[in-house]
Amino acid sequence: MRHIALFSQTGSEIANLIDQGFTPTTILFDQKDDTKIDSRLNTDEIGHRIIKKNVKNIQYLRDCFGDPSTCFITLHGWLNIVPKEICDEYEIYNGHPGLITVYPELKGKDPQVRAFEGSYPIIGSVIHRVTPGVDEGEVIMSAKEYNNCSNLDQVFSVLKGISLSLWVDFFDSRYDNNV
């Protein structure tokens, strides 16, 4: 099974997963400015990195991903809506740093900021199937902890740790490290 990982920001989560032994076959990055990409991804040792901007073109995405029966896709800070046709054809999972199983209002962009500003007593992350609705797919895994954070940087740090643990568990249980 080929693993295709998509990101729009720094890619640090993917780099952390690679450090844990989970190396995607292909990494797709969609931003014009690649100067903020985690330096651990700037090597040919991890495989192929594709940098393109036309991520709303369904045929382009099909060409990047290939046969749906031979791959699965994970989103790590991907800031684009995946077209319905791609959601319907491919097995896609998203890591979301908002505990939407408890607080559905944290669906969408910047849940960490909203969780901090809303003084939620519990914070957490989920991995869910990607469907056409934003953060509407079935939650596959979740983890949470009491919110003892005194500032937004702490919230980001705690949620990054929770998310990384979830992804490691996800890959261990679902693909036996053969990604």
Instruction: Name which of 177, 176, 170, 172 is nearest 74 in CA terms.
Output: 170
Q: Which residues of the chain have pLDDT under 70?
A: 43-54, 175-179
* Residue with the two structure tokens 């005194």: 150
* Parallel, antiparallel or unpaired: strands 48-51 and 71-75: unpaired
CA distances to 26, 40, 46, 153 from 141, in Å: 24, 27, 26, 24
pTM as predicted: 0.92
Joined together, the tokens standing for residue 91 give 């097995």
pLDDT at residue 50, rounded to an integer: 61
* pLDDT computed for residue 36 by the predictor: 82
Predicted local distance difference test score (pLDDT) of residue 39 = 84
Q: 66, 49 in Cβ contact below 8 A?
A: no
